[in-house]
Amino acid sequence: MATKDWSANQYLKFEAERTRPSRDLLAQVRLQSKSPKRVVDLGCGPGNSTAVLLSQYPDARLTGMDSSLDMIQKARATLPDVEFAVDDLSTYSPGEPVDLFFSNAVFQWLPRGERLQVIKRLIESQPSGGVFAFQVPDNLTEPSHVAMRETAADGPWAETLSTAGRDSFQSPQEIYDELKPICADVDIWHTHYNHSLESHQAVVEWVKGTGLRPFIDPLSPADKESFLKAYRGRLEQLYPKSVDGRVLLRYPRLFVVTVRN
């Protein structure tokens, strides 16, 4: 993943669509206590998922952490009474037992060989009955993301982008087998959203905030503009316009909720 900071404003262009999965994930969280003492939002972004947690657990000590300073600054401005911290998920430690770890679309950015080890380490720090809930996009085989890779391989930027992209996520079987030995329950499911977006350019704007970042961040301004034009052209071939002129973006997500032994 490129080292440039994330843009909270770009991410929040589709705030409602990006926040809905956090609500769907939280709906399946079953804590032993309805009033948990400690809740941590891992990779909290601009605080949209943190706000969902705050509404559900107003009496908990709630912390949001993210590696992006821009995201954290936006979160602090939006939720001034919540504790936020800039930290690296790979090495993050809460320093005290956590009843609920919650993560809305961040673990896909960790290297494949690292992500489940981080999740296991955090689960093992939890008390019995503690819940670890996360969701990640599972869309690398979707036309939108295949087109990213094809555009990257077909242009003057091909060498620069030869290693761009992100690792595939583990299968449900791999996740279950890795986490079940330390968990009383591992619940895994997929949801396929079909987001109605204004146009093909809106699809570009959506992915510019997340999945397209590794492809466009390394490019010069001129190459970035050319890449985005070529990418949009592919999208126009892949996604038909709906009866109202809008474009349906299919977006699969993988959800996991575990309960500590």
Whole-angstrom Cα distance, residue 41 to residue 89? 11
Whole-angstrom Cα distance, residue 228 to residue 238? 15
Tokens (6 digits) for 12: 């929040």
Whole-angstrom Cα distance, residue 183 to residue 32? 14
In this structure, is residue 74 part of a structural domain?
yes
In this structure, is residue 253 part of a structural domain?
yes
pTM equals 0.92
In this structure, is residue 189 part of a structural domain?
yes
For the chain, 261 residues long, give each residue's pLDDT as a single digit of tens. Answer: 444 665 555 555 667 888 899 999 999 999 987 789 999 999 999 999 999 999 999 999 999 999 999 889 999 999 999 999 999 999 999 989 999 999 999 999 999 999 999 999 999 999 999 999 999 999 999 999 999 999 999 999 999 999 998 899 999 999 999 999 999 999 999 999 999 999 999 999 999 888 899 999 999 999 999 999 999 999 999 999 999 999 999 999 999 999 999
In this structure, is residue 20 part of a structural domain?
yes
Q: Which residue carries 């895994």 as its tokens?
A: 188
In this structure, is residue 3 part of a structural domain?
no
In this structure, is residue 1 part of a structural domain?
no
Give me the CATH number covering residue 63: 3.40.50.150
In this structure, is residue 2 part of a structural domain?
no
In a 3-state reduction of DSSP, which class is residue 11? helix
Specify the number of domains making up the chain.
1
DSSP classification of residue 127: P
Domain, as residue range, for 173: 8-260
Amino acid occupying residue 257: V
